[in-house]
Amino acid sequence: MNASVTAGVVLRVDDEAEVILSIAPASGWVIEEHLQITVEGRAVPHREQADAHGTRLHRATLPVGTAIIDYRAQVSPPTAPAESDDVDAVRYLRPSRYVPSDELGEAASLFSELSPRETVKRVPAWVSERLSYVPGSSGPTDTAIDTLRAREGVCRDYAHLTLALLRASGVPARLVSAYAPGLEPMDFHAVVEAFVDGRWEVVDATRLAPRDHLVRIATGRDAADTAFLTTLSGALTLESVEVTAVATGDLVADDHVRSVLVR
């Protein structure tokens, strides 16, 4: 599966800001790419930094003005799976900032009698049935508990609740940000990888995109590790984001039941 992906971000920088971008596909995916950052038409230098699981971050200091970030890439799946280690099965069982799984024991009790394989099947289906996808319905600090109470959200909220219920049920789970050909509405997408039968399998409670075509960007505990933009210092306002992801050839239909891996 080859694809073409783009990300256009416009920021209003009110006070010189140091930022981290997580918009480039993970290591091994890129065939050809272009990243340009400008402020008021002047190029801003950036440097790449490596994070866990092949995640590629780009760091830049933006002067005051209108910043335009232009990213384009041609991609193809790597031959090897995303980097992992023996500790991941423990690391991704722990509660995290947006995934307080230790507070969701009562909700997770619904799945207490299931095997890990059946839990990985049932939890995303349960989340899908009980949440409504409503753009703009959640805030940047909402946790899985907020989503469970509100019964609505966007992809990161679906992913956080899925993560919380899986971890509370004893299944290691991590968040993956991705480009998603076929996604509607188009944007950066958030899905979950669950560790079952010795491998990381991807599940998506939103059911909004075929999993076979996902292009991995970042992998981590929750949105704190995978956000496309992090402001380390200074002040800025996000003006707009435009994302595209187009696969070469036809999209593979997804019943969201079979096991799928994302490279």
Q: CA-to-CA distance for 160 and 187, rounded, in angstroms?
A: 17
Helix residue spans in the chain (DSSP H): 88-91, 105-108, 116-130, 144-150, 155-168, 223-226
Rg (CA), the chain: 18
What is the pLDDT, as a whole number, of residue 162?
98
- The amino acid sitting at 242 is E
What is the pLDDT, as a whole number, of residue 232?
97
User: What is 88-225's CATH number?
Assistant: 3.10.620.30
- Residue 185, preceding bond cis, omega within 30 degrees? yes
Q: Which of 261, 90, 225, 83 is nearest to 171 (CA)?
A: 90
What is the pLDDT, as a whole number, of residue 80?
81
**Could you say which of 3.40.50.150, 2.60.40.2250, 2.40.50.140, 2.60.40.150 is the CATH number of the domain covering 3-78+228-247?**
2.60.40.2250
Give the Cβ contact number of residue 253 at 10 Å. 8
Q: CA-to-CA distance for 92 and 170, rounded, in angstroms?
A: 10
Locate 79 and state its tokens.
Answer: 């031959």
What is the pLDDT, as a whole number, of residue 141?
95
**In sequence order, which residues have a C-beta less than 8 Å from that of residue 77 and are 6 or more positions away?**
1, 29, 263
What is the pLDDT, as a whole number, of residue 82?
81
Burial class (CB in 10 A: 0-12, 13-18, 19+), 86: exposed
Q: What is the crossing angle of helices 155-168 and 116-130, to 10°?
A: 140
What residue ranges of the chain are covered by domains with CATH 2.60.40.2250?
A: 3-78+228-247
Residues of the chain with pLDDT under 70: none
**In sequence order, which residues have a C-beta less than 8 Å from that of residue 59 and are 6 or more positions away?**
18, 19, 20, 21, 46, 47, 48, 49
Q: Buried b vs exposed e over 159-187: b needs ≥16 C-beta within 10 Å?
A: bbbbbbbbbbbebbbbbbbbbbbbbeebb
Q: Which of 19, 66, 3, 64 is nearest to 217 (CA)?
A: 3
Residue carrying the six token digits 């509370």: 168
What are the angstrom distances between the C-alpha of 263 and each of 62, 77, 178?
32, 6, 11
What residue ranges of the chain are covered by domains with CATH 3.10.620.30?
A: 88-225
